[in-house]
Amino acid sequence: MSDITKQTLSELVNNIKEKKLSSSEITQAFVDRSEKSKELNTYITEDFSNALDKAKKFDDNPKLDLKLPGIPMAVKDLFCTANVRTTAGSKILNNFVPTYESTVTQNIWNEGAILIGKLNCDEFAMGSSNETSFFGNVQNPIDKNLVPGGSSGGSSSAVAAQLTPITIGTDTGGSIRQPASFTGTVGLKPTYGSCSRYGIVAFASSLDQAGPMAQNVQDCALLQEVISSYDQKDSTSIDFKRNLYSKELTKDIKGKKIGIPKEYRVDGMPKEIDDLWQKGIEYAKDCGAEIIDISLPHTNYALPTYYIVAPAEASSNLARYDGVKYGFRADGENLIDMYEKTRSEGFGAEVQRRIMIGTYVLSSGYYDAYYLKAQKVRKLIKNDFDEAYKKVDAILTPSTPSSAFKIGEKTNDPVSMYLNDIFTVPVNLAGLPGISIPAGHDSKGYPLGLQIIGKAFDEQNILNIAYAMEEKINFKNKITDWWIK
Amino acid sequence: MSKEKLEYLINRNDNQYEVVIGLEVHAQVLSQSKLFSTSATKFGAEPNTQVSLVDAAFPGMLPVINEFCVKQAIKTGIGLKAKINKRSVFDRKNYFYADLPQGYQISQFKDPIVGEGKVILDMPDGQKEVGIERLHLEQDAGKSIHDLDPKNTFVDLNRSGVALMEIVSKPDLRSPEEVNAYIKKLRSIMRYLGTCDGNMQEGSLRADVNVSVRKKGSKDFGTRCEIKNVNSIKFMQMAIEYEANRQVDLIEDGQTVDQETRLFDTKKNETRSMRSKEDAHDYRYFPDPDLLPLEVSDEFIDQLQLEIPELPDEKKKRFIDQFKLTPYEANIMVSDIETSNYFEDVVKKSDVKLATNWIIGELFAALNEKNLEITDSPISAGNLSKLINLIKDGTISGKIAKTVFEQMMEGDKDPKKIVEEKGLKQESDPKALEALIDKVIDSNRDKATEYKSGKVKLFGFFVGQVMKVSGGKANPQLVNEILKKKL
Amino acid sequence: MSIDLKTIKHISKLSRISVDEKKAEKLASDLNSIFDFIEKLNELKTENVEPLTSVAETTLKLRPDEVKSKNLREQIIKNSPKDNEDYFVVPKVIE
């Protein structure tokens, strides 16, 4: 069968189940393509030979009733994978090999999938362009020297370039949805508490969620079905009845009420984004949905809130990286010297910046003015959504305020970089599910995404809306394989 | 009759200072596994063999709370007659140290699981109530070992993550004696409840001592210093004495007392300032986002209430009422749950007065000599009560009983057997005794005459002779009676 | 709102990250622009709002008191930078 790597996950799964393809054939195809694509720099760690061994083992004893039988998959290097190096994109974990597996990836392997490698990301998931990784930038397959978004930049790039049929990323302020939008792919951030955080290198505990990054909504739904589970090892994991997202996927969204929040029409919003949003509204109507204007009054306060809460939690979560138990250690004359040198040399500039912000906003004299205040505003933001959801079933917004920008374009301006997350951050603050689907191109020909935000635990609904709109939009990603010589 | 109030005061020139003390006691919770992880808590294990991935703060590891530790904390709160807070929050206390793998300790800052309560102390001059401010749950840290290597510190994380109850008293204590009584009472309550074994040598109970001084009669509090991590009552008392005097000296000298953290140097018997960890005090507390608020229901608490055994104060009352012990005797018997259980076992089958005297008198002395706790007593309660019954029914005299007792201390034997084997039964047959006494009087006619003519002191001589002749086995009371008749 | 060099040095001590003069100046400049942006929150009145700590609207689930992790010493220590089988080894603290 030609062009194995051009197939969707669902097609590959079908072909394996129908014995038209073997795991070895599929895995070899993705390995070959990945080998040719090093210029994209999507991989931090390749596990190709192990993957081929596992594929062969699978073929010797195929379990075809599993959901991802013999499917090769690369995952973001934030998920701890047993015996495979896990770096979180950082020098401080450059040599770290976990002896344990994250729950989310274990769920994936339990359904028959095979790890092919660990994907590049912004260091400790802090960034929106994959430019803070210790392992270098990632190229967006859309065009040379374009950022793929971040922090799950390696993931979005790998999926768009078809180096892996599907992958998982993590999303704290938009790190799945924004890179999906930049690369013309689909990215879902589930409801907080839907996927276990056990074994995921923590960034901001009250915001982090793992989620699927795929080429289409159906594939995304299938992977969500696999990764979402109640985990007793994570105290923030929620025990609720999870749908069989792919089985229950439907395009019938007649009568669904979709809210359009006026506050998302921000100052200086590029016309192209606004036009795309309008188009999206029309597509939704075509699908039979009812469009309702709503207000989320505290939208403009979401980014400042996020840039207090996330760094605060991160400053504490990253305190364990001290060179004592694992990871990089610099020589020091005494304990404090060792700590300071280890962390200054081991962490990159963005991570250090955020740790400093976080430490400051929690420090004596500033806690009330910053951290406590931010947690109160967060309540207001959540209340906005709760109010809105009395009137609507889902909310439609653009995913990002622009298409992908050039590598290096925003690295000197932290605030301008932070503004990338303006549409995605409120969703994390409220703990709601959000999905980005590619919806069009800008004048440069770069992809743009639309975001559908749902009620808590209502992933099925936003997947359905996305599925319906996807068909109407009929988006075609323009990947020219420019990096393959 | 009210006793005169004893006061602990420091005199300097013409000024009298009183000492104000507050204690923060750290008590390790008795549980199988740790507070937020599933590794074991036993004392004395090989280094780093009771450490889980969560304890060692590996990337992606998350805390999951141990229900039993929550119950232990609530039970302790009930024992302290304290308010149980149905909703409490876990906060992170952030600082860096080699034995703190996470770089923060999970503790409770603003919303602890237990609120205000009280402890009653029985002091020589009357009862004293000491207020409890709060009790909260937190993780213990690992151990840093500084003396295995000249350049390096070795870290053992076995203790990292073990559940601690931090019990904060109000600044109601006024003397080293009160501190002694308070620690002992706290310890006793927790041992009764089975929530902490109170073993200070193993580190299950330690305290930070807050000391300040003020002129007698003043209502304001002076600046206090915190003496950290004192692990014996004796050291606490010494530290308080030293520190209070140090502060008084400063004040008398016209200087001010700086608020600081100090350590007690057990070799020099002084407190000294800890090398300032600069900003060690900015812990940047915030609610732990990996944990949700802890909520317990009324049913949960009620169920625990049912599991509370009779506590020392109640037991003391009952011992006084039921067994007619004096308050002094009752205090001793309830100070320890094992002692009170032992006592009750003994008095089930034997005389209370004798039991009390034998336990407080003979048994405690013998155990102390061998450095044993009552739980390791060679003499079981059953056998002690048998011994007491042998005295009560006249089989042996009190003096003989002491010999039997000594035998029993060497190995828990049935006293009846010892008496039989060694032929220690006392002679109580009046006829036999009469015969013995006649013999003695016969052999000592001259002394008998002397006695009859007024030398009453010689009575003891005759008693002694009878005892000697009978090998100590003559029943002393009967000997007395019969001798009186015969002489 | 101005974050000065003194503050940067204080925060860097708290977070155990060393800074030299040049780095401190850059950090001060970056943090100042970030905090200018954050100041926007002061526009909101929040006296009567309850802070939200978790969006997970549920309470803590309690685990039974069982020992499950048994002697993982090898696993735990094998990643540590210094070579000692029993302990973690770090340079001494100056007391």
Q: Say yes or no for a CB contact (<8 Å) between A356 and C75.
A: no
Residue A316 neighbours by CB distance under 10 Å: 27
For residue A260, which of A233, A236, A231, A284 has the smallest C-alpha distance?
Answer: A284
- Domain span at residue A425? 4-263+269-296+383-473
The rounded distance, in Å, linking the Cα atoms of C85 and C75 is 10
The rounded distance, in Å, linking the Cα atoms of A177 and A50 is 31
Q: How far is CA B150 from CA A329, A419, B417, C81, in A?
A: 20, 52, 61, 19
Which of B62, B89, B145, B294 to substitute to test the interface with A, most A CBs within 10 Å?
B62
Name the residue in chain A with its Cα closest to that of C19: A344
Instruction: Give per-residue pLDDT as tens, A264-317.
Output: 998 888 999 999 999 999 999 999 999 999 999 999 999 999 999 999 999 999
CA distance A233 to chain C (A): 9
Q: Helices in A2-66 by DSSP H: which ranges?
A: 9-17, 23-36, 48-60
Let me know if residue A316 belongs to a domain. no
Output the pTM of the full model.
Answer: 0.92
Residue B342: the pLDDT is 94
The rounded distance, in Å, linking the Cα atoms of C13 and C6 is 11
For residue A349, which of A416, A403, A414, A438 has the smallest C-alpha distance?
Answer: A414
Assess whether A436 carries a catalytic annotation.
no
pLDDT > 70 fraction of chain A, expressed in percent and rounded: 100
Assess whether A76 carries a catalytic annotation.
yes
The rounded distance, in Å, linking the Cα atoms of B468 and B225 is 66
Give the residue, A86 or B263, on which the prediction is more confident: A86
**Res A369 pLDDT > 80:** yes
Q: What residues contact B364, with CB distance under 8 A and at least 6 apart?
A: none
Chains A, B: CB pairs < 8 Å? 97
**Res A382 pLDDT > 90:** yes
SS3 state of residue A429:
helix
Q: Are B131 and B19 in contact (CB under 8 A)?
A: no
A235 neighbourhood in chain C, CB within 8 Å? 60-61
Mean pLDDT of B156-175: 97
Chains that touch A (3 or more CB pairs under 8 A): B, C
Question: What band does B276 get if pLDDT is binned at 50, 70 and 90?
Answer: low
For residue B383, which of B419, B416, B348, B414 has the smallest C-alpha distance?
Answer: B414
Q: Which helix (H) or strand (E) holds B161?
A: none
Terminal-residue alpha carbon distance, chain C? 37
Give the residue, C85 or A205, on which the prediction is more confident: A205
Residue A197: the pLDDT is 98
Let me know if residue A341 belongs to a domain. no
Instruction: Give per-residue pLDDT as tens, B285-338.
Output: 999 999 999 999 999 999 999 999 999 999 999 999 999 999 989 999 998 889
Q: Which candidate from C8, C33, C75 shows the least CB-CB separation from A415?
A: C33
Q: For residue A285, give the CATH number of its domain.
A: 3.90.1300.10
CA distance C90 to chain A (A): 7
Look at chain A and report how many structural domains it folds into: 1
Q: Say yes or no for a CB contact (<8 Å) between A338 and C91.
A: yes
Q: Which of A10, A152, A155, A175 is catalytic?
A: A175
Q: Are B437 and B422 in contact (CB under 8 A)?
A: no
Q: Side chain identity at A26, as an amino acid letter?
A: I
Instruction: Give per-residue pLDDT as tens, A146-194.
Output: 999 999 999 999 999 999 999 999 999 999 999 999 999 999 999 999 9
Q: Say yes or no for a CB contact (<8 Å) between C69 and B37.
A: yes
Collect contacts of B483-487 with beta carbons under 8 A, ≥24 apart: B483/B437, B483/B459, B486/B434, B486/B437, B486/B438, B486/B441, B487/B441, B487/B448, B487/B451, B487/B452, B487/B459, B487/B462
Q: How far is CA A170 from CA A150, A173, A189, C40, in A?
A: 10, 9, 8, 28
Q: Side chain identity at B154, as an amino acid letter?
A: F
Longest CA–CA separation in chain A, Å: 69
Q: Which candidate from C15, C40, C75 shows the least CB-CB separation from A355?
A: C15
Question: What band does B477 get if pLDDT is binned at 50, 70 and 90?
Answer: confident
C residues 54-73 lying closer than 8 A (beta carbon) to A: 54-56, 58, 60-61, 63
Q: Say yes or no for a CB contact (<8 Å) between C79 and A344.
A: no
CA distance A157 to chain B (A): 25
Q: CB burial class (10 A; 0-12, 13-18, 19+) of residue A171?
A: buried
Let me know if residue A408 belongs to a domain. yes
Q: Say yes or no for a CB contact (<8 Å) between B66 and C65.
A: yes
The rounded distance, in Å, linking the Cα atoms of B98 and A324 is 7
- Tokens representing residue A18 in the block: 């129908």
* Average predicted confidence (pLDDT) for chain A: 96
Q: Say yes or no for a CB contact (<8 Å) between C76 and B151.
A: no
Residues in chain C: 95
The rounded distance, in Å, linking the Cα atoms of B215 and B82 is 32
CA distance A393 to chain B (A): 28
For residue A120, which of A59, A82, A161, A70 has the smallest C-alpha distance?
Answer: A161
User: Does the domain made of C5-43 have the CATH classification 2.60.40?
Assistant: no
Q: What residues contact B302, with CB distance under 8 A and at least 6 apart?
A: none
CA distance C67 to chain A (A): 14
Question: What band does C95 get if pLDDT is binned at 50, 70 and 90?
Answer: low
A334 neighbourhood in chain C, CB within 8 Å? 91-94
Q: Which candidate from B52, B66, B295 shows the least CB-CB separation from C69?
A: B52
Chains that touch C (3 or more CB pairs under 8 A): A, B
Residue B430: the pLDDT is 81
The rounded distance, in Å, linking the Cα atoms of C7 and B282 is 14
DSSP symbols for A364-409: TTTTIIIIIHHHHHHHHHHHHHHHHTTT-SEEEEES-SSS--BTTS
Assess whether A151 carries a catalytic annotation.
yes
The rounded distance, in Å, linking the Cα atoms of A12 and A20 is 9
Question: What band does B480 get if pLDDT is binned at 50, 70 and 90?
Answer: confident
Backbone Cα Rg of chain A:
21
A275 beta partners = none
C residues 66-85 lying closer than 8 A (beta carbon) to B: 66-73, 75-77, 82, 84
Q: Which of A102, A128, A129, A151 is catalytic?
A: A151
The rounded distance, in Å, linking the Cα atoms of B470 and B464 is 10
Chains A, C: CB pairs < 8 Å? 157
Q: Are C64 and B71 in contact (CB under 8 A)?
A: no
The rounded distance, in Å, linking the Cα atoms of A468 and B65 is 43
SS3 state of residue A303:
helix
Instruction: Give per-residue pLDDT as tens, A434-458.
Output: 999 999 999 999 999 999 999 999 9
Q: What residues contact C46, with CB distance under 8 A and at least 6 apart?
A: A373, A376, A377, A380
Residue A1: the pLDDT is 56
> Domains, chain B, ranges and CATH?
3-304 (no CATH), 312-422 (no CATH), 430-486 (1.10.10.410)
Chains B, C: CB pairs < 8 Å? 125
Question: What band does B1 get if pLDDT is binned at 50, 70 and 90?
Answer: very low
Residue A266 neighbours by CB distance under 10 Å: 15
Q: Which candidate from A96, A197, A325 shows the least CB-CB separation from B57?
A: A325
Q: Which candidate from A206, A235, A326 shows the least CB-CB separation from B58?
A: A326
Instruction: Give per-residue pLDDT as tens, A338-362.
Output: 999 999 999 999 999 999 999 999 9
Name the residue in chain A with its Cα closest to that of B53: A100
Q: Which candidate from C11, C49, C54 shows the least CB-CB separation from A236?
A: C54
pLDDT > 70 fraction of chain B, expressed in percent and rounded: 97
Q: Are A462 and A452 in contact (CB under 8 A)?
A: yes
Q: Say yes or no for a CB contact (<8 Å) between C87 and B156.
A: yes
For residue B359, which of B384, B330, B391 has the smallest C-alpha distance?
Answer: B384
**Res A126 pLDDT > 90:** yes
Q: Which candidate from B60, B284, B292 shows the least CB-CB separation from A200?
A: B60
Instruction: Give per-residue pLDDT as tens, B10-32.
Output: 988 889 999 999 999 999 999 99
Q: Which candidate from A197, A206, A319 shows the least CB-CB separation from B62?
A: A197
CA distance C93 to chain A (A): 5
Instruction: Give per-residue pLDDT as tens, A1-17.
Output: 569 999 999 999 999 99
Residue B448: the pLDDT is 82
Residue A114: the pLDDT is 98
Instruction: Give per-residue pLDDT as tens, B420-472.
Output: 887 777 777 888 888 888 888 888 888 888 888 888 888 888 888 888 888 77
Instruction: Give per-residue pLDDT as tens, B237-262.
Output: 999 999 999 999 999 999 999 888 89
pLDDT > 90 fraction of chain A, expressed in percent and rounded: 95
CA distance C78 to chain A (A): 8
Residue B4: the pLDDT is 62
**Res A236 pLDDT > 80:** yes
Q: Say yes or no for a CB contact (<8 Å) between B39 and C67.
A: yes
The rounded distance, in Å, linking the Cα atoms of B482 and B468 is 16
Instruction: Give per-residue pLDDT as tens, A196-208.
Output: 999 999 999 999 9
Q: Helices in chain C by DSSP H: which ranges?
A: 5-14, 21-38, 73-78
Taken in order B374, B377, B383, B388, the sign of the CA dihedral is negative
The rounded distance, in Å, linking the Cα atoms of B406 and B365 is 12
Residue B279: the pLDDT is 44
Backbone Cα Rg of chain B:
30
Question: What band does B275 get if pLDDT is binned at 50, 70 and 90?
Answer: low
CA distance A408 to chain B (A): 30
Which of A92, A333, A362, A368 to substitute to test the interface with B, most B CBs within 10 Å?
A362
A436 beta partners = A187, A451
Residue B74: the pLDDT is 98
The rounded distance, in Å, linking the Cα atoms of A35 and B53 is 35
Which of C30, C71, C76, C78 to substitute to test the interface with A, most A CBs within 10 Å?
C30
B69 neighbourhood in chain C, CB within 8 Å? 65
* Average predicted confidence (pLDDT) for chain B: 91
Q: Which of A67, A76, A91, A455 is catalytic?
A: A76
Q: Which candidate from C59, C77, C90 shows the least CB-CB separation from B294?
A: C59
* Average predicted confidence (pLDDT) for chain C: 89
The rounded distance, in Å, linking the Cα atoms of C7 and C28 is 9
For residue B113, which of B165, B179, B153, B55 has the smallest C-alpha distance?
Answer: B165
CA distance C25 to chain A (A): 12
The residues of A whose Cβ lies within 8 A of any Cβ of B are: 80, 86, 88, 93, 96, 98-100, 102, 197-202, 204-206, 232-236, 312-313, 315-316, 318-320, 322, 324-326, 335-336, 339, 359, 362-364, 367, 371
